[in-house]
Amino acid sequence: MFKKLNILDEKDPHLRKISKDANLPLSNEYKNTIERIIQELTYSQIEEYEKKYNLRPGMGLAFPQLGINERIIVIVHEYEEGKFKNYVVVNPKITSYSDEMIAAEAGEGCLSVNRDVEGHVKRHARVTVEGFDVDGNKIKFRAREELSIAFQHEIDHLNGILFYDRIDKNKPFYTENEIRLI
């Protein structure tokens, strides 16, 4: 039986707190929460389930969005039509990043922001993320393009930052000559 997660709205103060490191290995309760997040994010990217369960499409969720201010992120990346790779990172850190900057041409969205926000968010084109899996084993990912954007977006949540905080108020949009839009 599928039951939608209770994702907090942008006005909730939990989303503005800096999260603390999660204790490892994760509890069974947290592991179950992660499984529910993976299921909902996957369903939200499959049109049939998105409509059936009235979901907003999303590829990432951070624990603070559920009111849990601990450093855990989940990303479900559709790397090919109907094929998904799950990334669960506990206490993630970006350990290196490219000089090249990119932005999602359509702008970014967020499951906690239930409105359209106009503007481009400058992000690193490539990042290396290190952290731990749910059992406390060290893990490391190199992410590019939209996956890089997703990691930066979700890690921002752990630091109380919402994507629209990063939109330049004086210059919300960039041209292809200024930044690579993907």
The DSSP code for 29 is H
Burial class (CB within 10 angstroms; exposed 0-12, middle 13-18, buried 19+) of 40: buried
The DSSP code for 69 is -
pLDDT in tens, 147-175: 999 999 999 999 999 999 999 999 999 99
Q: Show contacts of 165-168: CB within 8 Å, 24+ apart.
A: 166/121, 166/122, 167/117, 167/119, 167/120, 167/121, 168/119, 168/122
Quick check: 135 pLDDT over 90? yes
Do 75 and 59 touch, CB atoms closer than 8 A? yes
pTM of the predicted model as reported, rounded to 2 decimal places: 0.97
What confidence category does residue 1 fall into, taking pLDDT thresholds of 50, 70 and 90? confident
Question: Residue range 53-64: average pLDDT?
Answer: 97
Cα 57 off chain centre by? 12
- Half-sphere exposure in the Cβ direction for 45 (13 Å, CA): 20
Other C-beta atoms closer than 10 Å to the C-beta of 55 total: 19
Quote the pLDDT of residue 127. 98
pLDDT in tens, 7-57: 999 999 999 999 999 999 999 999 999 999 999 999 999 999 999 999 999
Homologous superfamily (CATH) for 13-181: Peptide deformylase (3.90.45.10)
Catalytic sites, residue numbers: 154
Instruction: Please provide the average confidence, as pLDDT, over all residues in the chain.
Output: 97
Question: Residue range 175-180: average pLDDT?
Answer: 94
Other C-beta atoms closer than 10 Å to the C-beta of 152 total: 22
Question: Residue range 106-131: average pLDDT?
Answer: 97
**Domain limits of the chain?**
13-181
Quick check: 65 pLDDT over 90? yes
Instruction: State how far the Cα of 99 lies from the Cα of 125, in Å rounded to an integer.
Output: 8
